[in-house]
Chain A
Amino acid sequence: MRIERAVKRRLCSLPATVYSDGLRTDCAILDISERGCQLEGDVFGLGNEVEIHFQDAKLCVPGTVAWKTYMRVGIHFKATIGLSEK
Chain B
Amino acid sequence: MLVLLTDTSEIARRTCEVLGTSGAIRQINLKQAPPLLTDSVEGWIFAADLDQEGTVTAGIRHLRERALEQPLIVVTARRDVKTSARASALGATRVHEISNAAGLLRDPIFANRFMAMPSPFSNDPVLMAAIAGTVAIVTETMTGRATTSASEDLNTAIDAAIASLQTKGVAAWLKALEAVHSPTYRHVLQVLAFAVSFGTLTKLPPPLLRKLAAASLLHDIGKAKLPVEILNRADRTAPGDDAILQTHVKLGFEMLRAYGERDFDILDAVLHHHEYMDGSGYPHRMKGAQIRPLTRMLTIANHYANLIEQRPSRPVRTKQDAYKRLQAMGHKLDLGLVATFKGVVR
Contact = CB atoms under 8 A, between A and B. Distances in A.
* Physical interaction between A and B: yes
Interface in A57-84: 64-71, 73-74
Contacts of A20: 288-289
Nearest to B333: A48
Given A70-B202, A71-B203, A65 B336 contact: yes
Most interface-central of B203, B287, B289, B331 (chain A CB within 10 A): B289
Interface string A28-67: 0000000000000000111110000000000000001111
Nearest to A68: B336
Contacts of A74: 336
B289 A47 contact: yes
B163 interface: no
Given A21-B287, A68-B202, A71-B203, A45 B340 contact: no
B204 A70 contact: yes
A64 to B, nearest CB: 7
B211 to A, nearest CB: 13
A48 B205 contact: no
A41 to B, nearest CB: 14
Most interface-central of B201, B204, B335, B336 (chain A CB within 10 A): B336
B40 interface: no
Contacts of A71: 203
A66 B337 CA distance: 8
A68 B340 CA distance: 6
Interface in B202-230: 202-205, 208
B154 to A, nearest CB: 23
Interface in A4-31: 20-23
A21 B288 contact: yes
Interface residues of B, number: 20
Contacts of B339: 66-68
B204 A67 contact: no
Contacts, number: 52
Given A48-B331, A48-B335, A74-B336, A69 B203 contact: yes
Contacts of A70: 202-205, 208
Contacts of B287: 21
A23 B205 CA distance: 22
A20 B291 CA distance: 12
Contact of A45 (B201, B205, B293): B293
Taking chain B's interface residues, is the majority helix, strand, or loop, or is none over half, making it mixed? helix
A47 B340 contact: no
29 contacts: A20-B288, A20-B289, A21-B289, A21-B290, A22-B289, A44-B293, A45-B289, A45-B292, A46-B289, A47-B289, A47-B334, A48-B331, A48-B335, A48-B336, A65-B336, A66-B335, A66-B339, A67-B339, A67-B340, A68-B334, A68-B336, A68-B337, A68-B339, A69-B201, A69-B203, A70-B203, A70-B205, A70-B208, A73-B336
Interface residues on chain A, size class: 10 to 19
A70 to B, nearest CB: 5
Contact of B336 (A21, A22, A23, A46): A46
Contact of A65 (B203, B204, B290, B335): B335
Contacts of B336: 46, 48, 65-68, 73-74
A23 B290 CA distance: 9
Contacts of B334: 47-48, 65, 68
B305 interface: no
A20 B290 CA distance: 11
Contacts of A67: 336, 339-340
A48 B277 contact: yes
Contacts of A45: 289, 292-293
Contacts of A48: 277, 288, 331, 334-336
